[in-house]
Amino acid sequence: MRPRFFSLPSAQLANEAWLARGDGSSGPRLAIIGVGMMGREHLRVALLLGRMRIQGVYDDHAESLDQAQREYRKSTQMTLNVYPSFEALCADEAVDAYLIATPNFTHSAIFERLIKSGKPIFLEKPMATTLLDAQRMVTLAKAHPAFVQLGMQYRFKAQYIEAFHAIKVQQALGTVHTVAMSEYRPPFLNKVGEWNKFSHYSGGTLVEKCCHYFDLINLAVDAYPVKVYAQGGQAVNFIDFEHRGLSADIDDHAFVTVTYDNGMLAHFTLNMFCQELYEELVITGDQGRLVASESSSFRRGVNSSAKIQIEASAHPAYDGMTVTYPSAIENSGHCGATFFEHLAFLAQLEGDVVDAATPAQGLKSLLVASAAQRSLATGQVVFMDEFCAQEQVSWPC
Ligand SMILES: NC(=O)c1ccc[n+]([C@@H]2O[C@H](COP(=O)([O-])OP(=O)(O)OC[C@H]3O[C@@H](n4cnc5c(N)ncnc54)[C@H](O)[C@@H]3O)[C@@H](O)[C@H]2O)c1
């Protein structure tokens, strides 16, 4: 079974993926760097899929390691191999692939060390906190004999698989003209060292969180973003929050407009002072409109719900349909998207071409996010040509 992602409807993809699970006794050996919230989600998903072996993990925070050890033991009745140092992890020749799930500001240094191995790398989003680092990483990845996959797994949420299937495979909307994406959610969660409360460590909210959405928009539009305008700021969250003498400086709401060189317009809305999570993507073409949405919650026991509505002549989803993954997949993390991200990684390890994010696509999402961040700070429209020249980076081909 080879995952084909956007070429299949999400239900078929989920059936095939579930049947292809293994028992964890064979497969490539994975080493995980960083076992905080996201690293442990990757550990759980790898165990659920059972098609990779966990060769070992490295983290410098005892509590994260204890939690990872507990979860691993509970699931496998075995002891998780913990490397005593990052260098010990790098020296383990039995590792087949690396997964980096450390805070954003650490990505570039860890990536640049691991890429020397010549082995495949999975790197969490955003790839870096500065554009110069990200561009250097793209260059390194180009010369790398193995692949690098970025953690932009929202692509694999059921409703977006359906959306990309509709616009790219079925061409159900004709020529697309507008894309509107929104996210409403509660504030950022606690992190080890509170790195996500400070732009210096996270890259800023539009980079840290919203690179996912700029990736989805870029994918739908597939063109060069000529100008970006953003309004927003920090209105409610972490206003009085301090950590080690630093005041939190992260935005909690924004409206961003992007004009692409093919005439397409995109809009992104962010609001992070809500009780529940709601995401929506609306794409409109000359032959129809689609609405892909997801409702989810940080409350325990509340399942997410994903829907797609495709108002295009005689489309089976014209009146809308629920496309939520089966609960075992949906509950495994990020509404099931991480599960498919691992399948994509496995497929790449087997030499397949998949719809996972590349370093170049990671840089593109970072460029739009950073231009929006700049526009927020200055109140001015940011022209991408000028912005790239100032930042000494190029829009990747
Ligand atoms: N793809 C997604 O949807 C998604 C969701 C959440 C987080 N993330 C990304 O995953 C990464 C980790 O986020 P998180 O939520 O797990 O944060 P976290 O703070 O919960 O965990 C980070 C872990 O990395 C460890 N760490 C820090 N520096 C390290 C180093 N140099 N070497 C080894 N370990 C180190 C910390 O001790 C901690 O255990 C971030 O880049 C974040 O943006 C992605």
**Which atom of ligand 1 sits closest to the CA of residue 341?**
1
- Note the pTM of the prediction, 2 decimals: 0.97
Q: Is residue 336 part of a domain?
A: no
Containing H/E element for 10?
helix 10-19
Residue nearest to atom 27 of ligand 1 (CA): 102
Residue with tokens 């509404």: 335
Which of 32, 57, 59, 195 has most ligand 1 atoms within 8 Å of its beta carbon, as the pocket-test mutant?
59
Q: Is residue 351 part of a domain?
A: no
Per-residue pLDDT at 331 exceeds 60: yes
- Torsion sign, CA atoms 115, 117, 118, 120: negative
- Domains of the chain: total: 2
Q: Is residue 318 part of a domain?
A: yes
Q: Is residue 344 part of a domain?
A: no
Please state, in angstroms and rounded to a whole number, the distance separating the CA atoms of residues 205 and 372: 10
Per-residue pLDDT at 100 exceeds 80: yes
The upper half-sphere exposure of residue 179, i.e. CA atoms within 13 Å in the direction of its Cβ, equals: 28
Check whether residue 367 and residue 290 sit in a common domain: yes
Tell me the CA–centroid distance for residue 203 and ligand 1, in Å.
14
Q: Strand pairing partners for 58?
A: 33
Q: What is the CATH number of the domain that holds 231?
A: 3.30.360.10
Q: Is residue 333 part of a domain?
A: no
Check whether residue 168 and residue 283 sit in a common domain: yes
Please state, in angstroms and rounded to a whole number, the distance separating the CA atoms of residues 394 and 131: 10
Pocket of ligand 1 (CB under 6 A): 33-39, 58-61, 64, 86, 101-104, 106, 124-125, 151, 153, 191-192, 208, 334
Give me the percent of the chain exceeding a pLDDT of 90.
93
Q: Is residue 91 part of a domain?
A: yes
Tell me the CA–centroid distance for residue 35 and ligand 1, in Å.
7
Check whether residue 119 and residue 174 sit in a common domain: no
Check whether residue 201 and residue 148 sit in a common domain: no
Residues 339-368 have a mean pLDDT of: 96
Please state, in angstroms and rounded to a whole number, the distance separating the CA atoms of residues 80 and 65: 9
Check whether residue 232 and residue 161 sit in a common domain: yes
Per-residue pLDDT at 78 exceeds 90: yes
Check whether residue 190 and residue 141 sit in a common domain: no
Tell me the CA–centroid distance for residue 41 and ligand 1, in Å.
11
Give me the percent of the chain exceeding a pLDDT of 70.
99
Residue 98 and residue 121 in contact, taking contact as beta carbons nearer than 8 Å: yes
* Single residue among 153, 173, 193 that ends a domain in this structure: 153
* Single residue among 102, 136, 153 that ends a domain in this structure: 153
Check whether residue 194 and residue 104 sit in a common domain: no
Check whether residue 128 and residue 193 sit in a common domain: no
Nearest one of 22, 5, 23 to 14, comparing CA atoms: 5
Which of 90, 123, 192 has most ligand 1 atoms within 8 Å of its beta carbon, as the pocket-test mutant?
192
Residues 227-238 have a mean pLDDT of: 98
Which pLDDT score is estimated for 66? Answer: 98
Nearest one of 351, 372, 341, 331 to 123, comparing CA atoms: 341
Check whether residue 139 and residue 192 sit in a common domain: no
Tell me the CA–centroid distance for residue 315 and ligand 1, in Å.
41
Angle of the 10-19 helix axis to the 337-349 helix axis, nearest 10:
60
Task: List the 253-260 sheet strands across, edge first.
Answer: 321-322, 305-312, 288-296, 277-285, 176-184, 265-271, 253-260, 225-233, 382-383
Check whether residue 257 and residue 381 sit in a common domain: yes
Tell me the CA–centroid distance for residue 338 and ligand 1, in Å.
15
Q: What is the CATH number of the domain that holds 33?
A: 3.40.50.720
User: φ and ψ at 220, to 5 degrees?
Assistant: -70, -35
Per-residue pLDDT at 54 exceeds 60: yes
Domain hosting residue 311, numbered range: 157-325+358-391
Residue 347 and residue 4 in contact, taking contact as beta carbons nearer than 8 Å: no
Q: Is residue 341 part of a domain?
A: no
Which pLDDT score is estimated for 1? Answer: 45
Listed in sequence order, the DSSP H helices in 144-186 are 158-164
Per-residue pLDDT at 267 exceeds 70: yes
User: 3-20: per-residue pLDDT in tens?
Assistant: 567 888 888 889 888 988
Supply the mean pLDDT for the chain. 96
User: φ and ψ at 57, to 5 degrees?
Assistant: -135, 155
Check whether residue 71 and residue 100 sit in a common domain: yes
- Of 1-10, 83-92, 108-117, 329-338, give the lowest mean pLDDT range: 1-10
Please state, in angstroms and rounded to a whole number, the distance separating the CA atoms of residues 208 and 167: 27
User: φ and ψ at 20, to 5 degrees?
Assistant: -90, 10
Tell me the CA–centroid distance for residue 37 and ligand 1, in Å.
7
Angle of the 37-49 helix axis to the 337-349 helix axis, nearest 10:
70
Q: Is residue 340 part of a domain?
A: no
Residues 278-307 have a mean pLDDT of: 96
**Which atom of ligand 1 sits closest to the CA of residue 58?**
33
Tell me the CA–centroid distance for residue 207 and ligand 1, in Å.
15
**Which atom of ligand 1 sits closest to the CA of residue 107?**
41
* Single residue among 153, 188, 207 that ends a domain in this structure: 153
Containing H/E element for 171?
none
Check whether residue 106 and residue 196 sit in a common domain: no
Residue with tokens 């969250």: 237
